[in-house]
Amino acid sequence: MSAGASDAKKRSKKRYGAGHHSKRWKGSRELEVGMQGILITCNMNERKCTAEAFNLLNEYAEKLYGPEKLEDNDGSSSEEEEGGEEDVAAALKKEVAQLQGSGPKQERRFQALQSGANNVIFIKTHNLESDKLVHHILSDLHTTKKKKSRVILRMLPVTGTCKAFPEDMLKYLTTFLEPWFKTPNSATYQIAFKARNSSHNKRDEIIKSIAGLVGKLNPKNKVDLTSPELTIIVEVIKAVCCISVVKDYTLYRKYNVQEVVKDETLKADVNLAKTESSTAEKKEAQDSEETGKGKREDEENGIKTAQGGQRGGR
């Protein structure tokens, strides 16, 4: 290989390979400790899931918080009307700043980040309470039964994050859980734990440790796996633990947007129909068995009568 070709190959590797392994975006594009937002699970199609999530979240966020207001690099709101003639020097300075990207990057209401697990996306939130927003969405879907997504499965709010090691999790949860479970507050609860791409957390041990912690905050806190007042959601992805405390977790089908819109009355009718059908089948089988038994008895009696007649004739 010639020296020129070798140099060209090195330049190519340096130019394109470095970009592939660059850490410039790491941290700003991935789920990290300290963030708040919403974990959204989907079925294979993450790109479509992200688009659906933005549409759904923006629709309900505007109802709760009003339209999102963005600020220009000079600090003015995008919704403000320009009054009078703008100074030429200021306009030029603003244009140069926009072209050079010298202004601070704006924090959007919703920002899609990599979660660190397949079929899971993380939507980072800004200036809103993700647990209230998600509960509002599920409440509306549960009431209207109107399906608004195709690939989104579950929407889990994340109101706190910490390192995903048992000692760090318990230390963080000691303070995090106080508003709901520390005396004089108390509630029935359950713990929903799931770990993805993490091998240093054993489910049973984590749940037992958290339950012990909740019991110390107030002995009146009781576990209820059927219809708890609150659910402590603990989702571990790699080295990040995502936490929230939510209401109506069972009622809203584990915060599954596909299941929550299904008609419960129709489901109950289907179950009732299945039960009635099963009962009818059992009764029919029983009647058939009794009929067969009766026929066998008649046949046996007929045979005995015939045999008796033959003996009498002899």
pLDDT reading at 52 higher than 70: yes
pLDDT of residue 10: 53
Q: What is the mean pLDDT of residues 188-212?
A: 95
Q: What pLDDT score does 6 carry? A: 59
Burial class of residue 243 in the structure, from the number of CB atoms within 10 Å of its CB (0-12 exposed, 13-18 middle, 19+ buried): buried
The 3-class secondary structure across the chain, one letter per residue, is CCHHHHHHHHHHHHHHHHHHCCCCCCCCCECCCCCCEEEEEECCCHHHHHHHHHHHHHHHHHHHHCCCCCECCCCCECCCCCCCCCCHHHHHHHHHHHHHCCCCCCCCCEEEEECCCCCEEEEEECCCCHHHHHHHHHHHHHHHCCCCCCCEEEEEEECEEEECCHHHHHHHHHHHCHHHHCCCCCCEEEEEEEEECCCCCCHHHHHHHHHHHHHHHCCCCEECCCCCCEEEEEEEECCEEEEEEEECCCCCHHHECCCCCCCHHHHHHHHHHHHHHHHHHHHHHHHHHHHHHHHHHHHHHHHHHHHHHHHHHC
Return the pLDDT at 200: 84
In this prediction, residue 137 has a pLDDT band, given cuts at 50, 70 and 90, of very high
Does 312 fall in a domain? no
Is the pLDDT assigned to residue 126 strictly greater than 80?
Answer: yes
Q: Is residue 84 part of a domain?
A: no
pTM above threshold 0.75: no
Chain centroid to CA 245: 13
Q: Are strands 152-158 and 222-223 parallel, antiparallel or unpaired?
A: unpaired
118: in domain: yes
132, part of any domain: yes
Among 55-59, 121-125, 201-205, the least confident range: 201-205
Residue 89 pLDDT more than 90?
no
Read off the tokens for 155: 């929407």
Residue 155 belongs to domain spanning: 37-66+107-263
Place of tokens 């505007």: 62
Q: Are 126 and 109 in contact (CB under 8 A)?
A: yes
Confidence band of 44 (pLDDT split at 50, 70, 90): confident
Among 250, 259, 261, 248, smallest CA distance to 134 is for 248
The band of 106, judged by pLDDT with boundaries at 50, 70 and 90, is confident
Supply the pLDDT for residue 265. Answer: 61
Mean of all residue pLDDT scores within the chain: 81
Domain-located, residue 44:
yes
Residue 218 has pLDDT above 50, yes or no: yes
Say if residues 41 and 124 touch (Cβ distance below 8 Å): no
- pLDDT, tens digit, 9 for 90 and up, residues 268-300: 454 555 555 566 566 566 665 665 565 566 666
User: What number is the average pLDDT over the span 208-227?
Assistant: 97
How high is the pLDDT of residue 16?
44
In a domain, residue 17? The reply is: no
Q: How far is CA 272 from the centre of its chain?
A: 31
**Residue 206: its pLDDT value, please?**
96
Residue 24: predicted pLDDT? 42
Percent of the residues in the chain that have a pLDDT greater than 90, as a whole number: 60
- pLDDT of the residue at 5: 57
51: tokens are: 């688009």
246 inside domain: yes
**How does pLDDT run across 144-156, given as a tens digit for each residue?**
999 999 999 999 9
| pLDDT interval class at 69 (50, 70, 90) | confident
- Is cis: bond before 184, omega within 30 of 0? yes
Rounded to whole angstroms, how far apart are CA atoms 184 and 2? 80
What is the rounded (10 degree) CA torsion for 159, 161, 164, 168? -110
Please count the other Cβ atoms lying within 10 Å of the Cβ belonging to residue 153: 18
Instruction: Assign residue 52 the CATH number of its domain.
Output: 3.30.2300.10
Q: If you average pLDDT over each of 79-83, 91-95, 150-154, which comes out highest?
A: 150-154
- The answer to the question of residue 277 being in a domain is no
Amino acid residing at 296: R
| Count of domains for the chain | 1
221 versus 313: the higher-pLDDT residue is: 221
As beta bridge partners, residue 33 has: none
Whether 200 contacts 165, CB under 8 Å: yes
Q: What is the crossing angle of helices 203-217 and 166-176, to 10°? A: 30
Is the torsion defined by CA of 30, 35, 37, 38 positive or negative?
A: positive
In the predicted structure, residue 17 carries a pLDDT above the cut 80: no
Smallest CA-to-CA distance from 66 within 118, 156, 12, 127 is with 127
pLDDT tens digits for range 224-258: 999 999 999 999 999 999 999 999 999 999 999 99
Torsion (CA) 262, 263, 265, 267 in degrees, nearest 10: -40
